[in-house]
Amino acid sequence: MSTPAPRGPVDSSRVPRYAGPATFARLPRLDEVGRADVAVVGVPFDTGVSYRPGARFGGNAIREASRLLRPYNPAQDASPFALAQVADAGDVAANPFDINAAVETVEAAADGLLATGARLMTLGGDHTIALPLLRAVARKHGPVALLHFDAHLDTWDTYFGAEYTHGTPFRRAVEEGLLDTEALSHVGTRGPLYGKQDLTDDEKLGFGIVTSADVMRRGVDEVAQQLRERIGDRPLYVSVDIDVLDPAHAPGTGTPEAGGLTSRELLEILRGLAGCRLVSADVVEVAPAYDHAEITAVAASHTAYELTTLMARQIAGERA
SS3 241: strand
Q: Is 292 annotated as a binding residue?
A: no
Q: Is 46 annotated as a binding residue?
A: no
Residues 6+ apart with CB under 8 A from 201: 155
Strands (E), the chain: 38-43, 86-91, 119-124, 144-149, 179-189, 207-211, 235-241, 277-284
Residue 198 counted as an annotated binding residue: no
| Annotated binding residue 88 | no
C-alpha–C-alpha distance, residues 124 and 283, integer Å: 6
Side chain identity at residue 226, one-letter code: Q
Q: Is 267 helix (H, G, I), strand (E, B) or coil?
A: helix
DSSP code at position 28: P
Ligand-binding annotation for 243, yes or no, is: yes
CB atoms under 10 Å from CB of 15, counted, come to 12
Q: Tell me the sheet residues that pair with 145.
A: 236
Which residues have a Cβ under 8 Å from the Cβ of 157 and sit 6 or more positions away?
163, 168, 171
Between CA 47 and CA 129 the distance in angstroms is 10
Binding site members for Mn(2+): 127, 150, 152, 154, 241, 243
Annotated binding-site ranges: 127, 150, 152, 154, 241, 243
